[in-house]
Each structure stands twice: as C-alpha cells, then as structure tokens.
Amino acid sequence: MQTFVLPSNDVVGQRWEVTAVRPLLRYLLNLDPLPPHLCQEPAAFAAWLIRHGLGPLAHRVCRTECPQLAAALQTDLYAAVAQNELHLANLDAITTQFRGNLPLVLLKGIALGESVYGGVMYRPMSDLDLWVPASYLPQAMALMVQAGFRQDGKEKRPPELQLLSDGEIRFYQPQWVQNLVELHLAPFSGWWGKHTAAIETEAMWQRLEPLPTRPDMQQLAAEDAVIHFAVHTAVNHQFDLHLIRSLVDIALTAQKRGVDWQVVAERAQRWRVATAVYTVLTLLHQLIGLPELEPALHALRPSWLHRWLFRRILAPEKAINGFALPHPLLRFPLLLLLVDRPRDIAKMVFRTLWPEKAWLEARYGGRVSHWGHLWGMFQRGDV
C-alpha cells in the first residue's frame, strides 16, 4: 500500500498510510471505536492533530481510552482555552452593547464551538465572526467603539471596498491586537461570489436559529451552515487552511444538528455554488465516510473534466498532508475551476481585469484608472 509523509514538528520523516487517517477521524466523530494503533504512536498522532487544528477535540474524545495521546495534546488544549477565553471576553463586551439594540448572529468557529463541539474550548479559532447586515452596520460600528474596540484596516481592503463585496469590517481590542472581531456584512463574502453566485442572503437571515446554549444569540440554519463552511473552505481559503478541521466541522454539524443533504444539494445548485460544495463534500466522504452523502454528491457533481481535474489537484492524500498551491498565481485558476457556469467564468475574468468604476473608486480612492489597475496587477504579478 502506498504511503505518504506526514509532516510533523515532533516526528520528522514519519511515514503514514493514508488509511491511518480515516479511522482516526471516524473515532473523533464517535463513528468507529478506538483504532488499535492510535495509542502506540501518541507523539506522531498528536503532531498531526495539532497541525490540523483538532488537538482540543481529540483530547476530549480520547482522554479516557487513550490517556497517552491526551497527555501529548494537553498543551495544545490549554493554548486553545487561553486563546478562546480572550474571544469570549470580546463576545461578552459586544453582547453587553448589542443586547436590546441589535441581533447577535455568530458565524464559523464561535458558533461551532457553542453548538456542536461540546464547548468553545474544543474549537480553536483565530478571530470572532459576527453577521451584521449593512442596514445594521453604522449602529454596530458605533456600539463596537463604545465597547472599547478600534477599527482595523488594510490598504488593499478599505471599508468602502468591503461594503461593495459584502466583506467584513475588522475591529480589535487595543491590548489584544491579535484577537480580531470581524463584522461580516453577509456570510458569503468576496468578489468570487459577487460575480458568479446567487446567494439568497435574506432567506438565510429568515432561517436563523437560536444557539442551544445562548438563546439570545443566533446561528445559521444547519443546511446553510454546511454550504457556508464548504464555500468558505474552497473559495476563501483555497483548501489550504485547516482543511481537515473544516471537514470535521461539517460532519459534526450533520451529526449534532441534523442536515437534510437533499436540501443542501438543491440550495447549492440554486445558489450556483454546487462545484465548490461538491469538492469539499467529496473530500469529506473520502476521508470520513458518510453514506447519506452519496445522493447529494450525485446531484451536485460537475462535469467529468472538473471531476478529473479535482481528483488530481486535490486528492485525499494531499489534503491530509496539508494542501497548498505550488505557486500563488495558481490561486486564480483554482477559483475559476470552482465556478458553476462558463459565462460566470468569463464574467469573473473580465471584472478582475476591468473592474466596475465603483470598485476602482473604493479600492484606489479615484487615483487609479482601469489601465493603471492593469499595470499594477502586471507589476505585482498577482490578480
């Protein structure tokens, strides 16, 4: 059987069979019993789990049956607890300001930790994500300032540009610069979605559900959350940031909240994100195995050419070893591969090279023409 190197900070050169990962992931999800080899190489397995952001969850699951592995993961658990305590402190400060003024809708890591991970401490997160529609944004920004936060901005991502793309406005506590709070104008953000998808954002808002542990806060409906996680993984991160943990996020959502996969397939097709969702759910089925996914995958599957390309670009063995594009310039072709309709591919290429005037104004403040934008792209070597 073919083996693959599993990169690790602790076990250099350790080689693993791809089939070793599937039993581990299924064990973390309580789908299979403890793999017999798991406790025999705790340092190696711990390094892999930590690398993929699954150390705290694995510590919770294995602490009784495999204390050796739990011990190797303990430091990672403590680090996640400390980091997430800062996020929770930020959430408490925001809740105090928003209560009675604005709805509080949690996205991504914080919502997952509260609803399906069995506690926020078991789901590491780099920032705190909230959904604040544009109609609420001025009031929300004022309340954030009242809570002691400051706005964070980047020259390439000015607030005016974020508003056009349903992006996010970032805030931070001055004493905790690394702990960002992102106010998302919509769950699906960015120009890929603007040019190629047809997300029904208002319908998503109407389907919001209260968090079981915090009924004064809300989260996406389960099917909307699955599509959101899949598109975010494929489009926003191009599969290179905690891909395996994203698969576990989706599997836990289905397990703990219940997901109608037929609804997921129909909604993804209607929203024109079927290819992105198919790619992520295919990896989920290959690495974890959920038989109930198969009808949805059949409904979502793109052309044979897309399937052939993705089998080579994003094989399961690449995912478990940390997928990364060999060159940044390949990011744009990958994004084009994820588009459902050929005419939307053409639209995305055209608008990337020749954006709307409103985009130029928001990005450059009226200082750069279309030709200047093209020249800047050529000089930087990016898109």
Looking at residue 16, its pLDDT comes to 55
Cβ 144 vs Cβ 97: under 8 Å: yes
Q: pTM score, two decimals?
A: 0.92
Residue 373 to residues 24, 159, 180, 350, 380, Cα–Cα distance (Å) = 48, 19, 30, 13, 11
How do the domains of the chain map onto residue ranges? 3-340, 341-383
Cβ 124 vs Cβ 56: under 8 Å: yes
Q: State the CB neighbour count (10 A cutoff) for residue 96.
A: 11
Q: What is the dihedral of CA 320, 325, 331, 334, to 10 degrees?
A: -60
**Per-residue DSSP letter, 292:** G
DSSP string of 331-376? HHHHHHHT-SSHHHHHHHHHHHHS--HHHHHHHHTT---HHHHHHH
Low-confidence ranges of the chain (pLDDT < 70): 1-18, 153-157, 177, 381, 383
The residue assigned the tokens 């609420």 is: 136
Looking at residue 195, its pLDDT comes to 93
Looking at residue 323, its pLDDT comes to 83
Query: What are the residues facing 172 on neighbouring strands?
Result: 150, 180
Looking at residue 381, its pLDDT comes to 67
Looking at residue 37, its pLDDT comes to 86
Tell me which CATH code domain 3-340 carries.
3.30.460.40
Looking at residue 177, its pLDDT comes to 61
